[in-house]
Structure 1
Amino acid sequence: MLSAFAETVDSTDPLSALRVGERPEPRPGPDRVVVTVKAAALNRHDLWSLAGVGLTAEQCPMILGCDASGVDEDGNEVIVHSVIGDPAAGGGDETLDPRRHLLSEDLQGTLATRVAVPRRNLLPKPPELDFAQAACLPTAYLTAYRMLTTRGRLPAGGAVLVQGVGGGVATAAILLAVAMGARVYATGRDGARRAAAEALGAIAVEPGARLPERVDVVVESVGAPTIAHSMKCAKPGGRIVVCGSTAGHLAEVDLRRLFFLQLELVGSTMGTRDELARLIALCVDKGVAPVVDGRYPLSRAADAFARLASGAAFGKIVVEP
């Protein structure tokens, strides 16, 4: 079957490790269901895999992709939850299972005509979302949802700052926070991105700018360049929720501000199946439609990866087998 896969890993030139070609068909198992993929969304995780972060050359060839929507063996339209883990091992939260992993790390991923996944990882796709929109939810939108709710504890009528608009998580955080009734501020590195953020319902500001108010929750995925600004923008008792460090992971933190204002510096990764179910319900109830930057056929997956690597995308990049 046609697939986009890591033939090997290359830390200096990740895209050189990508191949588009034939791979063996997935096999169903006692608790594994084969899904015909209708759409799969790209994530930074896919670029990291090609670079050898979380994936070794010995594990290759590995079909890439965490996210997907499609049709199961019984003809049901489904969304694939990409976290493979045992909730019991994580105290009711599979993201805290020490052995948890994502599709394309151990099991073959979703950038293929078909994918085999544990039955538990399938959720019904609502008719209100098309396959491309639905494929955006399991990683970026679920990450943003968990940051705002479980980890960020966004109060009703609260305020949110989203750092670095444009990427999948940042765009998702704006849409979801607006849908939750929050006042949303967003930083962007250029005028076009700030204008796009405002079109989604945010109040756009330049990076490092002072906000009209301090916020309850900061959605932080940029890292070292923005962490000081994030802490300055949080109100006393506020939460800076970190899900990534795309621009640098070694950052200095002013501990005086942290303890004096009783701030919470919180990590967050992905989300649970139950959180994904609540996210899907929120999208349907509030009419949230994920932002899709572009759609590519699987045969042009290399172009989709190049678009992702360029950093020019606004929203999610979707591959459609």
Structure 2
Amino acid sequence: MRAAFASSFNDADPLAGLTVGEAPAPVPGDGWAVVDVRASALNHHDLWSLRGVGLRPEQLPMILGCDAAGIGPDGAEVVVYPVVFTPSGEVSILSEFYQGTVAEQVTVPAYNLVPKPAELTFAEVACLPTAWLTAYRMLTTKGRVEPDQAVLVQGAGGGVATAAILLAQALGARVYATSRDASKRERVAALGATALDSGARLPERVDVIIETVGEATFDHSMKCAKHGARIVVSGATSGHLPKVNLRRMFALQLEILGTSMGTPEELSALMTLLANTGVRPVIDSIIPFSEARTAFEKLHSGDVFGKIVLDHTT
């Protein structure tokens, strides 16, 4: 079958280890199912895999990709939930221990197949299992956002941040979003959020902060938090050792919460929210699977707003 996989590691030039070609078709184990993939979405995790982060040489070749949607063994339309437990009981996502989704087929535990709502396309739901599910959990389970509350999204433009902007509004919140990039601020404003330069003073203190940037924005996040606010962290792209003002933390009774991904039940709830509200993922581009390398090159360039989706029917 056709697949895009890591055949070697190269930290300086991750695309040097990318191979698009033939790979063995998956053989499902007991309780597992094979999905015929119709669409998959790329994540920066794929580039880290090509750099060798989280993988060992003896695991190569490893099919890339965490996110996918397609047709299950009973003919039903499904979304693939990407979190799988390894034989030792460790939590892993597809393309770390088990082969990934950027292929004609992928095999996962049957429990990982979540019904796809008819209102959403394969391309739309393929965007959800990693970035959008993480954003949804940050806002709901961890952030406990309520209608009419205020949310700050740091580092707008990334997959999780873009999802958080749209989801927070769908949940009834006022949304502020920051970016150093003027063009991204324009796009954020078009999504309905109040766009601000990084570090800018907000019109009000907020109830929930979506933090994926880390060191570069964390002090600003602390200063923007109102009494009892939740700072929810799912990434640290600028560094993972920020200074934390403990006096502000205990005086304002702030919560700093870490999270990643979500559950199959949360993925189902996320899709129901989108189906009911009409909110849809921001898709930067849909690229034919036959041009998979082009899609990875675009991701690596950084010139992306929203998700890159591969159409596996072409």
Describe the superposition over 1:239-295 as per-residue Cα deviations: whole angstroms up to 9, x where unpaired: 111111122223222222222211111111110111111111111111111110011
Shift of 1:194: 1.0
Decide whether the 8 Å contact of 1:40 with 1:111 is kept in 2. yes
Task: Give, in whole Å, the separation in 2 of the partners of 1:160 and 1:286.
Answer: 19
The correspondence for 2:247, drawn from 238, 250, 256, is: 256
Q: Which amino acid aligns with 2:221?
A: S
Question: Which residue number corresponds to residue 290 of structure 1?
Answer: 281
Q: Which runs of 5+ in 1 are unaligned?
A: 87-96
Q: Which amino acid aligns with 1:253?
A: V
The yes-or-no answer on 1:99 pairing with 2:99 is no
Decide whether the 8 Å contact of 1:9 with 1:55 is kept in 2. no
The correspondence for 2:211, drawn from 220, 234, 240, is: 220
Q: What is the TM-score of this pair, normalised by structure 2?
A: 0.96
Question: Which residue number corresponds to residue 104 of structure 2?
Answer: 113
Shift of 1:18: 1.0
The correspondence for 2:236, drawn from 238, 245, 259, is: 245
Describe the superposition over 1:180-228 as per-residue Cα deviations: whole angstroms up to 9, x where unpaired: 0000000122222111111111111111001011111110111111111
Question: Which residue number corresponds to residue 92 of structure 1?
Answer: none
Shift of 1:72: 1.1
SS in 1 for 2:215: coil
Q: Which amino acid aligns with 1:264?
A: E
Decide whether the 8 Å contact of 2:146 with 2:171 is kept in 1. no
The yes-or-no answer on 1:128 pairing with 2:119 is yes
The yes-or-no answer on 1:187 pairing with 2:190 is no
SS in 2 for 1:201: coil
Question: Which residue number corresponds to residue 51 of structure 1?
Answer: 51
Q: Which amino acid aligns with 1:82?
A: P
Task: Give, in whole Å, the separation in 2 of the partners of 1:107 and 1:302.
Answer: 21
SS in 1 for 2:216: coil
Question: Which residue number corresponds to residue 270 of structure 2?
Answer: 279
Q: Which runs of 5+ in 2 are unaligned?
A: none
Q: 1:85 to 1:272 in 2, by over 3 A?
A: farther
Task: Give, in whole Å, the separation in 1 of the partners of 2:157 and 2:66.
Answer: 20
Task: Give, in whole Å, the separation in 1 of the partners of 2:248 and 2:298.
Answer: 39
Question: Which residue number corresponds to residue 17 of structure 1?
Answer: 17
Decide whether the 8 Å contact of 2:46 with 2:64 is kept in 1. yes
Percent sequence identity is: 59
Task: Give, in whole Å, the separation in 1 of the partners of 2:231 and 2:265.
Answer: 23
Shift of 1:130: 0.8
Question: Which residue number corresponds to residue 79 of structure 2?
Answer: 79
Task: Give, in whole Å, the separation in 2 of the partners of 1:173 and 1:116.
Answer: 29
Count the aligned residue pairs: 311
Question: Which residue number corresponds to residue 156 of structure 2?
Answer: 165
The yes-or-no answer on 1:8 pairing with 2:2 is no
Q: Which amino acid aligns with 1:267?
A: G
Decide whether the 8 Å contact of 1:185 with 1:204 is kept in 2. yes
RMSD of equivalent CA atoms: 1.4
Decide whether the 8 Å contact of 1:175 with 1:200 is kept in 2. yes
Q: Which amino acid aligns with 2:115?
A: P
Decide whether the 8 Å contact of 2:137 with 2:266 is kept in 1. yes
- Tell me which stretches of 4 or more aligned residues in structure 1 moved more than 6 Å: none
Task: Give, in whole Å, the separation in 1 of the partners of 2:198 and 2:53.
Answer: 29
Decide whether the 8 Å contact of 2:2 with 2:20 is kept in 1. yes
Task: Give, in whole Å, the separation in 2 of the partners of 1:13 and 1:259.
Answer: 44
Task: Give, in whole Å, the separation in 1 of the partners of 2:93 and 2:128.
Answer: 15
